[in-house]
Structure 1
Amino acid sequence: MTGSPLFRFGVVADPQYAPIAPSGTRYFSNTLWKLSEAIKVFNREDLAFVVTLGDIIDREWGSYAHLLPLYKALAHPNFFVLGNHDYYVAGDYLNSVLQTLGLRRAYYDFLGGGHRFIVVDGNEISLFANAKGTENYAAANRRISTMKAAGACNAHDVNGGISDEQFAWIQQVMNKAKAAGERVIVMGHYPIYPVHDLNLWDDTRLVDLLTSYDNFLLYINGHNHAGNFGAIGRKYFVNFKGMVETPTTTAFSIVQVYDNRIDIRAFGAEEPRTLSL
């Protein structure tokens, strides 16, 4: 295929750093060199931005101090999506996670390459991002109890959900983007399609909302380190592989957006894809 892309952006999923020994297929401390190598590649490219799709760390507050300085070498704007592991810190630090990562709130939108990007917060209703006794913690308990009673495959406490208020905000942004003639790419930590036990608790509701808009192109996420892919017509759902996996190879991508397609350039264990629009 020929022609130049409208723009490009870099993607990292689940670096999940911790200064600890490997466990199973996860090589937590190797993330330092893997992310450094990815940033070197990104810096050689003309990118609109780079996004990390959650699980920046694996655990412990001190891990942020080791990993975040690496991002200072990045020559492009940097965006964070938060994952469940980003909240696996002592309770006293829960309210400092957003500030430490330079975020005002965990869901937001921005314009890149003439396209609208929406970051969703799948940790909003969860048992790990909220202190016990808070309204959202109680809501998470109710939600997971109801899902378990219904036999939902994704009724696990490593997943999370979205409030009605956030859904209303997503719909508002989608409507504004449609009115402005902007195509939309949505980014989250949790997969939403196809069905999987690591999916967002509100997977079906979010899929139905996004696919009801003809200007929605793509949803990207991490969380499931094995990666995954789904399509509903020409609306796509790409689960990027976890960087933390494997001892000697890495996993990251550069997404190239054209008028009529999206090309995913894959590095390391990631898979290349071409998505027709």
Structure 2
Amino acid sequence: MSSRLWHYLHSLQIYGRVPANRVYCVSHQTMTTNITSCPLFSFGVLADVQYADIPNRLNFAKTSMRYYRNSIKLVHQAALTWNQDSRKPSFAVHLGDLIDGFNNREGKANSEKALRDILTEFDKFDGPVHHILGNHDFYNFTRKELWDSRLNTTQLTGKVNVEDTTTSHNPTNPPENECGCSNKLYYKFNPHPDFCFVVLDTYDISGCSHLQQCPHYEEALKILCAVNKNTGYELNSPTGLEGKERRYVLYNGGVGKEQLQWLRNVLEEATRKQQTVFILDHIPMFGATDQCLLWNYEEVLETLGEFDCVAAILSGHTHTYNYGEDTNGIRHIIFPGIVEATPGTNAFATIDVYSDYCDIRGYGQMPSFTLRYPVCNKTMGEECTDPTKETSVQATS
């Protein structure tokens, strides 16, 4: 390595642009410097595809355009990019809302066709894909139908070791009722012995994810209507609500008591094994607008704050990138929605995971940056900074 190159790399470490313990490989074939390192594993992430074979239209709030037919093209591009990557992802994650609710307006057959079409593009990725479920998935299918579909990745095998949450994951154990609410759509998997990935069901308690005759629906409606005094379809509107109360809308939901206890047990086990934890969900718990927050985000964050093993929470739902760090030092990364990525760009990432940090390589509207973990607890009220403005690496488009 030349003296000039050594000083350049050293300056990057001093100013925090790359981790000091990164392994550098310098190409001797050309005069250009090729700085690379070997991650423990990599994985791909994208969110809110919301595919539908319909013309572009504005979102519910009339604030941004949704490019429904374009979204399937962007999934195709992401799959090919991951396959061709020298640090090829061993798996991918979609953070919810795979097909848009408009599909169901033409009947179940149309929803099923849209699902087949978009899964065909995901199948072009040479690896398993974990699907977190969002509100639009429940607009198209019942919980039981989703359990019986390819969007149920609780039993995913192959390159990733998936562990079941309960015995209800046994296909021979049928759901107790037509709703299918006895089947648990939350689970964990271990792509590496030192890492645990936790998939949460943020519609465990929700009015849009259970049939009306289901007790879980009644419980969700009681929680919702205690705060939101709108009626019928207008329960999707936060009109009349202020501040954090605006999260009590029909398209959001919450984590139930049983799932919360399961999460605590998983984090206790991860702590014993000295594992770093990534949490994957649809509805954010922090850093989102008030009307896009998990109903019981405070309760879940309190549980997470009892442990030091959580590196980051990856969410979707808002369709807009955001980064936040809560008072326990846990990082929350909200991924931009594929459906609102303007034609000619994209909105996905490849995450290279190392022992004490990860590199997020963003494409299009998803920025690139380095994220260190675990993080120390922060003093209440201490200002947090966005790493994309501090330790960002060169963005890709």
Query: Which residue of the partner structure matches residue 28 of structure 1?
Result: 68
- C-alpha deviation, 1:94, in angstroms: 4.4
Aligned CA distance change for structure 1 residues 195 and 64 (closer, same or farther; 3 Å): closer
Per mean C-alpha deviation after superposition, the further-off stretch among 237-246 and 265-274 is 265-274
Structure 2: which 5+ runs fail to align?
1-17, 24-37, 59-64, 105-110, 154-168, 170-183, 230-240, 374-397
Matches within 5 A, 1:237-276: 237-245=332-340, 246-276=342-372
Measured against aligned partners, the alpha-carbon deviations of 1:57-86 in whole angstroms (never above 9, x if no partner) come to 112223212211222211112111000000
Deviations 1:148-191 (CA, angstroms, capped at 9, x unpaired): 37851211111111110110111111111111121111000011
Which residue does the alignment assign to 1:122?
Answer: 202
SS in 2 for 1:167: helix
- Show the counterpart of 1:50: 92
Which has the larger displacement, 161-170 or 56-65?
56-65
Residue 156 of structure 1: which of 249, 262, 276 is its match? Answer: 249
1-structure distance, mates of 2:152, 2:285: 26
Per-residue Cα deviation, 1:95-143 (whole angstroms, up to 9, x for no partner): 2112212445421100013310000001111111100021110011011
Between stretches 183-192 and 138-147, larger displacement belongs to: 138-147
Which residue matches 2:50? 16
**Which aligned pairs between 1:1-277 and structure 2 lie closer than 5 A?**
1=18, 2-3=22-23, 4-24=38-58, 25-45=65-85, 46-59=88-101, 60=104, 61-62=111-112, 63-89=114-140, 93-100=142-149, 101-103=151-153, 104=169, 105-114=184-193, 115-148=195-228, 152-194=245-287, 196=289, 197-232=291-326, 234-245=329-340, 246-277=342-373
Identity %: 29
How far did residue 234 of structure 1 move? 4.1
Which has the greater radius of gyration? 2
Give the conservation status (yes or no) of the 8 Å contact 2:56–2:67: yes
Distance 1:211 1:273 in 2: 24
User: Deviation per CA, 1:217-237, whole angstroms, max 9, x where unpaired?
Assistant: 110000010121111364210
| Equivalent position amino acid for 2:47 in 1 | A
Q: For 2:365 and 2:288, locate their aligned partners in 1 and report how far apart those are by CA, in whole Å.
A: 23
What CA distance in whole angstroms lies between the structure 2 residues aligned with 1:118 and 1:144? 26
C-alpha distance in 2, partners of 1:159/1:54?
Answer: 13
Q: Which has the higher contact order (CA 8 A, sep 6+)?
A: 1
In the alignment, the residues of structure 2 paired with residue 198 and residue 227 of structure 1 have an alpha-carbon distance, to the nearest angstrom, of 13
Q: TM-score normalized by structure 2? A: 0.66
Could you tell me which runs of 5 or more consecutive residues in structure 1 were left unpaired when the two chains were aligned.
none
Asked whether the equivalents of residues 241 and 270 of structure 1 are also in contact (C-alpha less than 8 Å), the reply is: yes
- Say which SS state the counterpart of residue 343 (structure 2) adopts: coil
Q: In the aligned structure 2, how far is the partner of 1:30 from the partner of 1:217?
A: 33
**TM superposition outliers: structure 1 runs of 4+ over 3 Å:** 102-105, 147-151
**RMSD, matched Cα:** 1.7
Contact residue 288 and residue 322 of structure 2 kept, 8 A: no
Q: Which amino acid is 2:54 matched to?
A: I
CA deviation profile, 1:219-259 (whole Å, cap 9, x unmatched): 00000101211113642100010011123321100112222
> Would the aligned equivalents of 2:288 and 2:318 in 1 still touch at CA under 8 Å?
no
